[in-house]
Copies of this chain bind each other. A is one copy, B any other.
Amino acid sequence: MSDYRPPLADISFALTDLVDLERLRTIDEYAHIDADLLDSVLSEAGRFMAEVIAPLCRIGDSVGTIRNEDGTLTTPDGYKEAYAMLVEAGWLAAAFPEQWGGGGLPYVAGMAIQEMLTQSDMAFSLCPMLTYAADELLIEHGTEEQQGTYLEKLVTGEWTGTMVLTEAQAGSDVGALTTKAVPQDDGTYRITGTKIFITWGDHDLTDNIIHMVLARTPDSPPGTRGISCFIVPKFLVESDGSIGAANDVTCVSIEHKLGIHGSPTCVLSFGDAGEGSVGYLVGEENQGMRYMFTMMNNARLQVGLEGLAMAQRSYQQAVEYAIERTQGRAIGAPKTESSPIVDHPDVRRMLMQMRANSEAMRGVMYLNGEAIDLATSHPDENVREQASERASILTPISKAWGTDLGVEIASLGIQVHGGMGYVEETGAAQWWRDARIAPIYEGTNGIQAQDLAMRKLPLRGGEAVAELLAEVRSTITDLESADSDLAVIAGPLADATDALDEAGAWLLACMRESPNDGLAGATPYTTMFGTLLGGWVLARGALAAAGTGDFGTAKAATARFYAANMLPTVRGLLSATTAGAADLFVIGPDALAP
């Protein structure tokens, strides 16, 4: 496996030339954030990730976290020490409010740190990622007392947090869960039930783990309207903040998975030994799904970021191999020497595909992060509302398009290695295996697509999406009047935008009259949307970087490559999007595989 090199130049470019940093600075608490500050913070963070976290990645994969006979878990050698250093360095808290021990950076800058952490070791990165979600939940919906007890310890990473939703019969359909929460006279609840697929549900990294658990109170309405959210610490916390008795939360087993071996995926049992684990209600009863959704949106973007992270890491390694490995002779090379495979057009095409898509993902996702910052903190309510709407459109795209691409790009990374890519010691296969979870969890990509087509596209009768496409069209106008070497992008970008418009109009119409037809086209529509936005951000980047020497030349070549290779596939998916559901249901289930 190659050493990790943080992609600082591209990250910095996305944060300063795609994201509107000046606008973020109109938010009081970010007024002091400028490009120089970001660069110095991120280069320090990148150095830390490369030196402390990235070396753990192979042992994390090959040994993984182990469940011992006594039910305790042992994380891979070095994880515990590295986690302590990460807490100590303050990187986990960087993008949280100073009030809770945070570093006060914008959300989007935190994404950059998380991108690099994930590139270093995705399995490891999931532990902080889940903690961020718990942080956000408590900041938004916790009582002052709950915040006082848990928040600073979670934000700094002294304790970790989890999201405890899934049960065996309730995966995508969270409303089907049956874990019980019985109110007690002292205002607490007793929680009993078994939850599965709990990421970092138990471990040995910290002294306590704070579980955010969805459960049902007695006589609650059925489905999602009857779900409440509870804080259930692994160890109860005494009034002085010290750690008290165990709270009857046990890790019954961990999964043997395709990838992210370092990350323990737990079956957790609550209240198995007694009257139930003690839980503290967050907010009001029966509002748990709503609270989870505030948090889940950001988590979905964070999962999208995993697609980007694996694509970028895989790209780095593939480039390094393609430069070192010689094989055959490229056209025009000296007759006596074999050429590095990077000189073969088909290999270079794969590398450019990896590069262009990684940059495209970063652009779309960081704009998504910027929208979250504006939605959360901008002083103008109109700006907050618009930004919130924008984030809600971009999030399912970042998640679904980004994670599908993460798998596809990591597969190209294997391919560049030839036979060596199939040998585990090479390390190229790990990115692909690790990346494969991201299209599944935090809402499958099918559910993301449904969310985009059924809820987000219809926002304001389609106007919200139309406003985003108007911004794309404004970039097309800029391209048309640009230097000739970027003007060629205008045509493919316009054609892709037209195709997406057409698909959107069709979907909007059938959402009213024949929703199954719309649902049948939701996934290709999401791919169309993501692919188009990817071309847009690359074009914007190329325009912004024009005249900056080699850097600008590279941005232009990457944007043109994407425009010629990726953008025309958008129209290629229009027919799949508008094909309808009729032919899907001709063959009955039993006849599908006789």
Residues of A at under 8 Å CB distance from B? 5, 9, 166, 169, 171-173, 176, 196-197, 255-259, 315-316, 319-320, 322-323, 326-328, 331-332, 338, 340, 342-352, 355, 407, 411, 414-415, 418-419, 421-425, 429, 432-433, 436-437, 439-441, 444-446, 449-450, 492, 515-516, 519-520, 522-524, 550, 553-554, 556-558, 560-561, 564-576, 579, 581, 583-587, 589-594
Contact = CB atoms under 8 A, between A and B. Distances in A.
Given A346-B449, A407-B411, A424-B258, A561 B584 contact: yes
B440 A172 contact: no
Contacts of A444: 415, 418
B575 A568 contact: yes
Contact of A564 (B322, B433, B561, B575): B575
Please report whether the interface of chain A is mostly helix, strand, loop or mixed according to DSSP. Answer: helix
A437 B450 contact: no
User: Of A338, A343, A440, which is in contact with the most chain B CB atoms at under 10 Å from its CB?
Assistant: A440
A349 B553 CA distance: 41
Total identical chains: 2
A594 to B, nearest CB: 7
Nearest to A257: B422
Contacts of A550: 591
Nearest to A419: B197
A497 to B, nearest CB: 15
- In this complex, the member of A257, A316, A558 whose beta carbon has the largest number of chain B beta carbons within 10 angstroms is A257
Contacts of A429: 258, 436
Given A172-B327, A593-B320, A419 B440 contact: yes
A548 to B, nearest CB: 14
A583 to B, nearest CB: 5
Given A173-B327, A440-B415, A583 B564 contact: yes
Contacts of A437: 422
Contact of A258 (B344, B422, B445): B422
Nearest to A453: B346
Contacts of A446: 344, 346-347, 350, 415
B575 A492 contact: yes
A23 to B, nearest CB: 29
Contacts of A319: 589, 592-593
A303 to B, nearest CB: 13
A398 B572 CA distance: 22
Contacts of A591: 550, 554
Contacts of A418: 171-172, 440, 444
Given A172-B327, A591-B554, A352 B583 contact: yes
